Every structure is written in structure tokens, then in C-alpha cells.
Structure 1
Amino acid sequence: MSTKIEDGGPAFAALATSPMGDVHHQEGMSIRDWFAGQFLAGSATDNAALDVSVAADQFDIDAALSDHWANVARAAYIAADAMLAARAKADRQFGFHANHGKTLIAKAEGSSHD
């Protein structure tokens, strides 16, 4: 049995109305994915060169790059999880609602999602 990862809810929730008047919501990416992507974008601007000078051929260079970016991707989700934890702590401390997007959708659909 797997444990659900707290993803912070939808980052860019949107409401849409069908031609028949039905309200549908699209959650889009999670806040966790958004935070991880922001970390990756910042990491990609790092000017530190990845040393592939010891690589013998293109296969070795590709393997080194693959390993490097796999580590950066893992770090991105570690950072995203830390940001979500800090966000939840601030929510508890200051009374912010962590799932504001879900609340707006639920209100628009006529139900409660607190």
C-alpha cells in the first residue's frame, strides 16, 4: 500500500463551463510539481560546469549528464517537499488556508471542501 504524497493541491486550478452549462474544474499540476519545476529552472541557470572531461566517449558523457540531472530532479522534489512543509507550518501558525484553490472550486460547484 502506498502513502499519498502531500502535493499541496492544484497550482493553477481553473473552472470551465460546458456549452450545456455544467461547471467542470481542471486541477492542472500540483503545487509540489510547480515548486519542483521552479527549483529545476533555478538549477538550470547555475553556471557551474559539469565536468565531463574524463568521459571517454559520448555514451559516458550522456551517462554523466543523466546521473547529474537525476540527482538534480531528486533534489527538486526534496526542496518542493520542504517548501510545502514550511507552507503548512505558516498556514497553522498564521491561519492561512493551504488549499485555497480547492476551496474556490468547491464554492463554485456549491459544496464545501475545507
Structure 2
Amino acid sequence: MAATKTEKSTPATGSPADLKEKKKERILDLSRYMDKLIRVKFTGGREAAGILKGYDPLLNIVLDNTVEYLRDPEDSFKLSEDTRQLGLVVCRGTAVVLICPADGMEAIPNPFIQPE
């Protein structure tokens, strides 16, 4: 009696080939903003804007021609008109709170302020 080789079948969700096909989609796709001006907010309240030159999966980002927006000395929650030129900056991903494109962003009046 000749032995025949039987092929084991694996469920579609468990085979390595299926896992390669199902690449995880990133929540934040920074590739759209490469070489474009972005604004970044950090833990602690600092804000900066610069041209995105690189990033990694941990959200470490490299900005060029970076400008830091300084806070108002009288009210630390407000940004002043003062800025500081930083140049080429590497931002640690654990400190990044918010990333947004600089174009298409405009200040609007607060809709929640009650008139007196």
C-alpha cells in the first residue's frame, strides 16, 4: 500500500499568506504630508510647525524649517504672536499629541462663549 501525502488545510484567518494579504491599515497616514507644512502639538502645551521630512511607526517625526510658537507669559494657555526659529528638529513620538496640516487651518470664534 503506497502512502499518499495529504495536504493539511488551514483556516483562512490563520495562514501566513492570508496575513500578508491583510495588511493593517494605518490610522494616521503621514505619507500624504511628506514635504508639506504641518503643525504639531506636544504634551506640555508646546506647538511647532515645519515641513515633514520623515517619520516612523512610533510617530517620531523629522521637521525642517521648524518654527516654535511661544506662549503668552501672562496666560500660559494662550499662544503669543512670538515665534522662535528651530530649523531641523526630531520630535519624539511619545510627546506628540496632535498633528494637522497647516494649509486649510483657520482660526474661528469660539461658538461656546456666552454673550454677557
Shorter-chain-normalised TM-score: which range?
under 0.3
Bigger RCO of structures 1 and 2 (CA < 8 A, at least 6 apart): 1
Structure with the higher strand share, 1 or 2 = 2
- TM-score, normalised with respect to structure 1: 0.24
